[in-house]
Amino acid sequence: NAGVTQTPKFRVLKTGQSMTLLCAQDMNHEYMYWYRQDPGMGLRLIHYSVGEGTTAKGEVPDGYNVSRLKKQNFLLGLESAAPSQTSVYFCASPSPRFVYGYTFGSGTRLTVV
Amino acid sequence: GQQLNQSPQSMFIQEGEDVSMNCTSSSIFNTWLWYKQDPGEGPVLLIALYKAGELTSNGRLTAQFGITRKDSFLNISASIPSDVGIYFCAGQGGSGGSNYKLTFGKGTLLTVNP
């Protein structure tokens, strides 16, 4: 099935720890996105990529880094986690079914204590 | 960045009632999209609208692309408990954005009382 897969689904970090979230898509699309979702704030774009080897900043990029070494994978890194980064993170890529629509992954719930 | 104003922020209704929600923007969009997010899951695309004035249905859901291209509406008829979730609108292209980069509303939280 065409889709977007995120790992892990849940994670608890201590302040200052680092981690990487992995996103994989099998739709062969050039574009991939990372969003965070917080109560009352909707979906906010962190970083995105328009192709292998390229990345760009979104609305809320501070504290995050990304890499797109392979077309199908988009990694989101937190070098030194802060409690303000407690959130649900979603990866997305354009849908093969709807022009301009995205397919989202099922999310990663991250808690920083 | 660009913002979409989505209303209402939340709704609490009885099973069987009809539901209406909308999104407005000061910018023109070329495409309007409606998503639903179930608890603990990622948003799922319900309906896509590509032309001003377009009216599209998906089962009990009907969405419309506003004539001015600055708004869109979603209606759910005869609500059922599984309609519970957060509904997001999103706009693409036009003066409000770019190809393949969507602008999202903040969502409408729908609760259905059986």
- Residue A34 in contact with partner chain B when CB distance is under 8 A: no
CB contact, 8 Å: A88 with chain B? no
The residue of chain B with its CA nearest to that of A50 is B100
Contact status, residue B11 vs residue B19, Cβ threshold 8 Å: yes
The pLDDT value recorded for residue A9 is 95
DSSP string, A77-88: EESS--GGG-EE
Spatial contact of B5 and B88, defined as CB atoms under 8 Å apart? no
* A64 shares contact with chain B (CB less than 8 Å): no
Instruction: Please report the pLDDT score of residue A1 as a whole number.
Output: 53
Residue B95 has pLDDT above 80, yes or no: no
Q: Which two tokens stand for residue B57?
A: 């249905």
Strands B44-49 and B103-104: unpaired
d(CA A56, CA A45): 10
Cα–Cα dist B110/B79, whole Å: 10
**Beta bridge mates, B65:** B72
Per-residue DSSP letter, B101: B
pLDDT band at B3 (very low <50, low <70, confident <90, very high): confident
CB pairs under 8 A between A and B: 53
How do residues A51-93 score in pLDDT, each as one tens digit? Answer: 999 999 999 999 999 999 999 999 999 999 999 999 999 999 9
> What is the rounded average pLDDT of the residues A12-32?
96
Query: For the segment B33-53, what is each residue's pLDDT rounded down to a tens digit?
Result: 999 999 889 999 999 999 999
Q: Nearest residue of A to residue B10 by CA position?
A: A40
pLDDT at A96: 82
Q: Which two tokens stand for residue A31?
A: 């574009």
| Inter-chain CB proximity A50 and B44 less than 8 Å | no
**Confidence band, pLDDT 50/70/90 cuts, at residue B2:** low
- Asked whether residue A98 carries a pLDDT value surpassing 90, the answer given is no
